[in-house]
Structure 1
Amino acid sequence: MVKEFGIGIGLAGVIFLAFHGINLFPFLLLGGIAYYLFNSFSKEKVGGNFVVAKKGDSNTPNINFSDIGGQDSAKNELLEALEFVKAKQEVKKLGIRPLKGLLLSGPPGTGKTLLAKAAANYIDSVFISTSGSQFIEMYAGVGAKRVRKLFNEARDKAKKDGKNNAIIFIDEIDVLGAKRGQNNSHMEYDQTLNQLLVELDGISVDDKVNVLVVGATNRMDTLDDALLRPGRFDRIVKVDLPDREGREHILKIHTNNKPLGEGVDIRKLAKETFRFSGAQLESLANEAAIMAMREDSEVINSDHFREAVDKVMMGEKLDRRPNKDELKRIAYHEVGHALLGERVNQGSVSNITITSRGRALGYVRHNPEDDFYLQTIDYLKDQIAVLIAGSMVEEEVLGNRSTGAANDFEKAMHLGKQIVFSGMSKLGVVSKDTLPKNMLYETITEIIKEEEKKVREEIKNNRDFIDSVVDTLLEEESISGDEFRLRLEYNKKSRTA
């Protein structure tokens, strides 16, 4: 009503000015600017678009903790914390302050959002989801308004639905909660974070609606210390990449609704997907199903999964194809990696291919026997040997090296630095700040040259074998790890016979 009245007054004013011959352009320009600013601030007053969902909502999956695989430690820690929310009377009786915030920290795709939704289901809570980027605008004070509106909306929604709990999930909380003072020219960041701290401090055990803030980030180091202190985000839950058993559980969840062929071994597939996140494993199962559909297959077999692993890791096959000489060089390079990979860790090679994918012209997929958390000097040196083996086979067989090994050398240098700065080199315990660069370079070079001698000897002892595998690769483009090991074992017996 007020808007229509204002428009009527404006039109009457325009007609009056035009009747008296006054130039209307400046007035129309100012009116347009005023209208734009009015609408902009009206939108800011409304706040960001927060996604609201509650238990049983048909538009939201009914997520339970049993639906999330590979995160047993994170789930147990989260469930323990959520018990404080469910047992409100006991908490109040013992004088325990309410749990205000939970922070889920871990790499992308590990299931932080799913854990937050499962938490809302577990405590029968209203669930409001937003992102840190929705709070930051060019207008001062807008972010703080949105934070206040978010908490008010959570409480109002819970009361309306007859709920005692409300979870506010803030993804990318590092955007909202970054360390203060880093954006001197834009105080909006600091004001927004200050408002979030005020809202967290205002949560009380006597509140009719228990508000729990769940944040998710993969950049813990950038968060402000005031946000992480006890009494605000009380619990920090690490959501890491799943181990082999976790990957097996996740794959079972994502293949439960898919027809699998008899030869599909989920346990073996979990081994071959080392350091895959939950999101990548879901994508793997989906890509395998797509490949089965393209071939009009009624079931998803092992070949579909093998191809899907390569696609998720490296990307789609490229249309470009190297010329004959380049393919030969690529084949020798990859066989060198595979040969040393098997020597330092028997059974680790899963597949060798000269098919170009993503940024790789060819590649060897290695799978460790077990997940590991500590690295010894022998392990690091073995990895250096595997990395430099490709270029050394090129040099031994073709007479020179190529630029295709640049990334291998970069990784080898990084491993050399790990050896030095972990106190495992001849220098002993050293400091990054005081160690001269020339001494670091000389020590790493010495480590790499030592491995070069071992690699060169291995190449000379297996020259005929390398040539035969390269011929097969040039004809078939790929060789499985099992076939490669059979031929390597036969070659070993032939040499000793």
Structure 2
Amino acid sequence: MPKWSKEVLIGFVPVLLIFLAFLGINIVPIIVAAAMVGALLVITHMRGGIAVNAGAEKKRKKNGPAKLTFEEIGGQDNAKQELREALDFLIRHEEISKFGIRPLKGILLTGPPGTGKTLMAKAAAHYTNSVFVAASGSEFVEMYVGVGAGRIRDLFKDARTRAVKENRESAIIFIDEIDVIGGKREGGQQREYDQTLNQLLTEMDGIYNSETPRILLIAATNRKEMLDPALLRPGRFDRHIQVDMPDKKGRKSILELHAKNKPLHPDINLEKVAEEAYGFSGAQLESVMNEAAIYMMRDNLTQVEDRHLAMAIDKVMMGEKTDRETNHEEKKRVAIHELGHAIMAELLRPGSVSQVTLTPRGQALGYVRHNPQQEQYLYTKDYLEEQIMIALGGAAG
């Protein structure tokens, strides 16, 4: 059916009704019948859409996630330890009840994208031998009032039903990107996802009882400041665990995990690669190893070499090489500019320049990749002044 047929139909029907009324024909029964047919079509469409979503969701939940342990997650040692301690409340519930300790209702994982928040939730389900039910915040946002709140109820009901069916004592519900439905509520008009948030708060208030199965809610977000205070208070999300970017030791651990199934050359030093990948998240490090294997395959080799890893780091950091063709004058200007950065960096911090290239990547016509000498989280005035001088070195050249 052509895309414009709907617009033509909308324009034709009113004209037809006016023409029939002009002829003296009673159009009231026609309007009533048309309204009933339209309402029936809308209801059918809504039920069909909900049925399709429910079928896909049931299929996804039936298949379930692959089993994952904390040992298979590189880095994040402190976050994993804190999460294990929180999960022990779910495992040792009888012991902690003797001391009058209230069980935890929710755990909030916060941190930048790609740091492993979803992986840690899956590992938590394996650690506690719990049923794992996952959903994304966007799944609860609908234009129809009450649909999101109903899906929240169905999510908790499904977790309890599956735990009973699989003879498990506990279930873990994971909601990714919870800021979509858990944003701060503002005065004024009622929004549909306000009702969804209210339903989530209600479920969390009654999430724990003395009977099995016990339910633990784990949520993840990289925008904690956007969440409603009612979610963050004790008694709902009792533990807030920060999942930060990995340090050098963590990056090396992540690289070693993703290198297990890849043929690396014996001369490759992953500690050096971890140093060059300063500021990379776990997802970016996985991409580095994957892209290095792709470069190896392009060269028809059987082992990943250092140059493949160097190119992979450049690609993840700057983007793929572009086909921009620059003339001699532009290349000369770019070379002088980049050399200005490199010379100034070497004068201030000898040995800090890792690579200088004129190959266009992403939005850059050339770039200098600096090799940080050590992990640094506090910056002195002298350090910042050196950074300014290195940045202005290109303009001075």
Matched, 1:231 2:235: yes
Aligned to 1:368: 372
Using a 3 Å threshold, how does the CA distance of structure 1 residues 65 and 53 change in structure 2: closer, same or farther? farther
Identify which of 133, 141, 150 aligns with 2:138.
Answer: 133
Deviations 1:399-430 (A, max 9, x none): xxxxxxxxxxxxxxxxxxxxxxxxxxxxxxxx
Query: Closer, same or farther in 2 for the Cα pair 1:139/1:338, shift >3 Å?
Result: same
Is 173-182 or 98-107 further displaced after alignment?
Answer: 173-182
The answer for unaligned runs of 5 or more in structure 1 is 1-20, 394-497
Alpha-carbon shift at residue 140 of structure 1 (Å): 1.4
Partner SS state of residue 274, structure 2: helix
1:68 aligns with 2:73: yes
Going from structure 1 to structure 2, the CA distance change for 1:203 and 1:335 (only over 3 Å counts) comes to same
- 8 Å contact kept, 2:135–2:174: yes
What does residue 81 of structure 1 align with? 86
Deviation, structure 1 residue 157: 0.9
Q: Following the alignment from structure 2 to structure 1, what is the Cα–Cα distance between the partners of residues 279 and 238?
A: 29
Q: Secondary structure of the residue that 1:233 maps to in structure 2?
A: coil
Check whether the contact 2:208–2:215 (CA below 8 A) recurs between aligned residues. no
The one-letter code sitting in structure 2 at the alignment partner of 1:153 is D
Answering whether residue 144 of structure 2 is matched by residue 142 of structure 1, we say no
The Cα of 1:154 is off from its aligned counterpart by 0.6
3-state SS of 2:238 partner: strand
Give 1:332 shift: 0.6
Aligned partner of 1:265 in structure 2 is 269
- Say whether the 8 Å CA contact 1:98–1:205 is kept in structure 2: no
Whether 1:305 and 2:305 are equivalent positions in the alignment is no
- In structure 1, C-alpha distance between the alignment counterparts of 2:139 and 2:64, rounded to whole Å: 22
The answer to whether the Cα contact below 8 Å between 1:52 and 1:128 also exists between their aligned partners in 2 is no
Contact 2:65 2:122 in 1 (8 A): no
> Runs in 1 of length 4+ with deviation above 4 angstroms?
21-29, 43-54
Note the C-alpha offset of 1:185.
4.2
TM-score, length basis structure 1: 0.71
Give the count of matched residue pairs.
370
- Are 1:92 and 2:97 matched, yes or no? yes
CA contact (8 A) 1:102 1:213 kept: yes
TM-score, with length taken from structure 2? 0.88
Partner AA of 1:162 in structure 2: N
Partner of 1:169: 174
Choose from 327, 330, 349 the match for 1:323: 327
Amino acid paired to 2:47: S
The amino acid that maps onto 1:194 is: N
CA displacement at 1:207 relative to structure 2 = 2.9
Cα distance between partner residues in 2 of 1:52 and 1:76:
33
**Structure 1 equivalent of residue 163 of structure 2:** 158
**Aligned-pair identity (%):** 51
Change (3 A) 1:40 1:339: same
Return the match for 2:279 from 275, 282, 293: 275
Cα distance, 1:22 vs structure 2 = 11
**Corresponding residue to 2:387 among 383, 389, 392:** 383
AA aligned to 2:39 is A
For 1:217-262, what per-residue CA distance to the aligned partner results, in whole angstroms no more than 9, with x for missing partners? 0001100111000010000000000000000000000001111112
Q: What's the offset of the Cα at 1:348?
A: 1.6
> Is residue 256 of structure 2 the alignment partner of residue 252 of structure 1?
yes
- Take 1:124 and 1:213, find their aligned partners in 2: how far apart are those partners? 15
Give how far 1:91 is off.
Answer: 2.3
Aligned-pair distance for 1:29? 4.3
Q: Which runs of 5+ in 2 are unaligned?
A: 1-24
CA distance in 2, matches of 1:30, 1:166: 46
- Greater C-alpha Rg: 1
Structure 1 CA distance for aligned equivalents of residues 34 and 279 of structure 2 = 59
Change (3 A) 1:66 1:219: same
